[in-house]
Copies of this chain bind each other. A is one copy, B any other.
Amino acid sequence: MYSFKNDYNQTCHPKIVEALKEIEDYQFSGYGLDEICDRAKTKINTALESNSDIHFLVGGTQTNLTVISYLLKPYQGVISVDTGHINVHETGAIEACGHKVISIISNDGKLKAKDVEDLIKSHYEDDNCEHCTMPGMVYISNPTELGTLYTKKELSDLYSVTKKYDIPLYLDGARLAYALSGLNNDIALNEYKNLVDVLYIGGTKCGALFGEAVVFNQSKLSKNFRYSMKQRGGMLAKGFLLGLQFDILFSDNLYYELGKHANDIAFVLNDELEKRNIKMFSKRYSNQLFLILNKKVIEALKEKYAFEYWSDVDENTACIRIVISWSTQKEKIFEFINDFDAICM
Contacts and interface: CB of A to CB of B under 8 A. Distances in A.
Nearest to A71: B74
Contacts of A63: 233
Interface string A1-38: 01101101111101001001101111111110000000
A77 interface: yes
A131 B230 contact: yes
Given A70-B74, A89-B132, A241-B11, A231 B96 contact: yes
A142 interface: no
B17 A58 contact: no
Contact of A96 (B17, B62, B74): B74
B30 A5 contact: yes
A71 B64 CA distance: 23
Interface size classification for chain A: 35 or more
A331 interface: no
**Top 8 nearest A-B pairs by Cβ distance?**
A62-B233, A75-B227, A91-B231, A92-B133, A92-B100, A130-B226, A95-B100, A91-B230
24 contacts: A9-B28, A10-B27, A17-B21, A59-B233, A59-B235, A59-B237, A60-B237, A64-B233, A66-B233, A73-B224, A74-B228, A74-B231, A75-B96, A75-B224, A75-B227, A75-B231, A88-B132, A91-B227, A91-B228, A91-B230, A100-B101, A130-B226, A130-B235, A134-B227
Given A12-B24, A59-B236, 20 more contacts: A2-B27, A5-B29, A11-B238, A17-B17, A17-B24, A20-B209, A59-B233, A59-B235, A59-B237, A74-B228, A75-B227, A77-B92, A89-B128, A89-B131, A91-B230, A92-B98, A92-B133, A95-B133, A96-B98, A130-B229
